[in-house]
Chain A
């Protein structure tokens, strides 16, 4: 999700590898709300074969001092294995998935389909009066697609928030 940043503020994509135990997500979220940090996007899922560890991707924003604090505070939580600042530690990729429902007919309906093709969005549900598109990509791409769908009968949006990973050989 692209957010408007105030002067002096930066956006950071932080990945946190945590022990997959009860309450760990609440600890992370509680840390952000309790200390007044922003959460612009958040995703979480188990990432190893036996489901023992989960990866939390957080997009946050703040001054460089606040972002350093966020990382230090996250690293201090007992079930946290590792914290990586993907924005600072080198090039990285981030993607999200969006499901976009458009309710329209006639010219708007066919225009929606044409735009979807241009964006490589897939039609995963269709009725006489509606489409559901599935789109993956950067947050910017998702947002421009959604903006284009507004006049085409945009009815509902569901987004996953971003999953992010470093380019190259480096590993969290």
Chain B
């Protein structure tokens, strides 16, 4: 240990952050963290981005982390600063996003006394984080910071919180660099068991109707994992589908890609999952949005599940071949085993399976009808399709974030991602208000990229204050609102499940989004009919300032295809014509969310 005791705890903290490669902190000051803000003031290597709400700080850090593969860093004060951050922490936990959140705390001698702005932050965030720490002694500070970064980014990534009492930040403390010794108790395994790899490859070689189902774990495992996934899918000739979180790992425009699966997945993806004989799940977790009714999920298949988190295995779905490890290492090992395994693949059966899949694909489950007559109402699907086409035409690197609801699903369905880390969305927790701050964090990480938050008019109001942050840092984030004047997904469920009784789901008294953009020093645009759309999108892209584009879309449009809650993959509703089938939704299904 370096016996350098010339620095305050706050300075030791910043030094540890610098040693961890931190370039940006998203934060909001307050009494308990004043020593840290004073230390930030006196240095130039770490940039601080002042958000307007602590929840947004965490989402911004998530956007930064998701779009770079680095750890996002948050700094908030004690009490309300910490409690406001909780939603963001749970969001990062559910979607396995590496974030380190620094919270101020009242001085150690006041802890437990109900002091001003005191909250039991480690108690409150224990189930909201992968791990958390309360630093009671200056000599532990540097070690804890280094350990927190290691825990956040290794294994299954996640949020880690460090609670910092004010006296620890002020008192002199020794610095120590990151230790290279293995952690005392936490040792995630990343190397897959070769026997399991061989078993998985044997199953896949013998498969007649295989499907590869990839998830967010492949994105988390980095570019090597994405490259290995693409190589493996191509080498095997197998169909590949993706979860919401996994979009971009395999290029969407590729013919071997079946589109997203799950509740709003494509017909071909869900029927391939239902009818396959061997399923390879790589980096996904058999989430309920993906599986539908569990006892009818892919009934005839052998399942291979590759996950870095052993607790994901056999959690929802019993699997035949579990493979624990890093998605990239697993895919590389499987690719090598695929080539060295002597068994030949049944290519004739695979060709037959592709013929079946092509029949399902011909149903064209994402089809919609846009009336092109001038003055006609814009279909939300068409708005996303044009957004995709017109952003593609610019050739610029484009990052999409979303809020939560129908617009999120339409973005997932119609924006055809072909690279990883370009898609920031709240999958597990489903947090309205995620998209704008996540876009902000993404734009900070990629200043020259085109960053667009696809939003709904209800969700955007949940963190609208961040428009001020965009203005302050001149971040040219584009907010593309699909405005149907309803909490669309709530309205859709009420239509399908609650007799069209639209209880509290109408967006009453909306602001004028054009004026709102202007009030926040941005540019406001509006498209009210189909002939406005391209002009507004082009202008939005061209402007080098924050923009809100208010796209007024069909109020009654529903998001299809849809697997109603409690239904199986082969019980999808394809479109409005098929809504009569919803009579099959059971009381048990009604209870599910």
Contact = CB atoms under 8 A, between A and B. Distances in A.
A164 B409 CA distance: 51
B131 interface: yes
Contacts of B130: 78
Contact of B184 (A19, A68, A76): A19
A78 B185 contact: yes
Given A23-B134, A68-B314, A76-B310, 11 more contacts: A18-B185, A19-B184, A23-B122, A23-B126, A27-B126, A72-B311, A72-B315, A75-B311, A78-B185, A79-B185, A79-B186
Interface string B144-177: 0000000100000000000000000000000000
B314 A19 contact: no
Main secondary structure of the interface of A (DSSP, over half): helix
Contacts of A4: none
Contact of A76 (B127, B134, B311): B311
Interface string A19-39: 100110011001000100000
Contact of A81 (B185, B311, B315): B185
A1 B138 CA distance: 44
A30 B126 contact: yes
Contacts of B318: 65
Contacts of A80: 185
Contacts of B122: 23
A69 interface: yes
A81 B184 CA distance: 8
A73 interface: yes
B158 to A, nearest CB: 10
B313 interface: yes
Interface in A39-93: 65, 68-69, 72-73, 75-81
Interface of B: 122-123, 126-127, 130-131, 134, 151, 183-186, 309-311, 313-315, 318
Given A19-B184, A19-B185, A26-B126, A78 B151 contact: yes
Interface in A105-134: none
Contacts of A27: 126
A50 to B, nearest CB: 13
Contacts of A23: 122-123, 126, 134
27 contacts: A18-B185, A19-B184, A23-B123, A23-B126, A23-B134, A26-B126, A30-B127, A34-B127, A65-B314, A65-B318, A69-B314, A69-B315, A72-B310, A72-B311, A72-B313, A75-B310, A76-B309, A76-B310, A76-B311, A78-B151, A78-B183, A78-B185, A78-B186, A79-B185, A79-B186, A80-B185, A81-B185
Contacts of A76: 309-311
A15 to B, nearest CB: 15
A26 B123 contact: yes
B93 to A, nearest CB: 12
**8 nearest A-B residue pairs (beta carbon):** A72-B311, A78-B131, A81-B185, A78-B186, A72-B310, A73-B311, A34-B127, A76-B311
B562 to A, nearest CB: 29
Interface-central residue, B310, B311, B314, by most chain A CB under 10 Å: B311
A73 B122 CA distance: 19
Nearest to A64: B314
Contacts of A34: 127
Interface of A: 18-19, 22-23, 26-27, 30, 34, 65, 68-69, 72-73, 75-81
Contacts, number: 42
B213 to A, nearest CB: 21
A90 B314 CA distance: 23
Given A69-B311, A76-B309, A76-B311, A22 B185 contact: no
B291 to A, nearest CB: 15
B369 to A, nearest CB: 46
Nearest to A82: B185
Contacts of A30: 126-127
A106 to B, nearest CB: 51
B162 to A, nearest CB: 13
Contacts of A81: 184-185
A35 to B, nearest CB: 9
A34 to B, nearest CB: 5
A17 to B, nearest CB: 8
A26 B127 CA distance: 10
A22 B318 CA distance: 36
Nearest to B183: A78
A68 B184 CA distance: 24
Contacts of B151: 78
Contacts of A19: 184-185
A172 B379 CA distance: 62
A112 B585 CA distance: 62
A24 B311 CA distance: 19
A35 B149 CA distance: 26
B191 to A, nearest CB: 17
A46 to B, nearest CB: 15
Nearest to B184: A19
Contacts of B183: 78
A72 B338 CA distance: 30
Contacts of B313: 72
B286 to A, nearest CB: 13
Nearest to A76: B311
A80 B126 CA distance: 15
Interface-central residue, B122, B123, B126, by most chain A CB under 10 Å: B126
Interface-central residue, B134, B185, B314, by most chain A CB under 10 Å: B185
A30 B314 CA distance: 21
Nearest to B147: A78
Contacts of B184: 19, 81
A23 B135 CA distance: 12
Contacts of B134: 22-23
A64 to B, nearest CB: 10
Contacts of B131: 77-78
B315 to A, nearest CB: 6
Contacts of A72: 310-311, 313, 315
A26 to B, nearest CB: 6
A31 to B, nearest CB: 8
Contacts of A77: 131
Contacts of B127: 30, 34
A79 to B, nearest CB: 5
A23 B124 CA distance: 12
A48 to B, nearest CB: 13
Contacts of A78: 130-131, 151, 183, 185-186
Nearest to A17: B185
A69 B183 CA distance: 24
A30 to B, nearest CB: 6
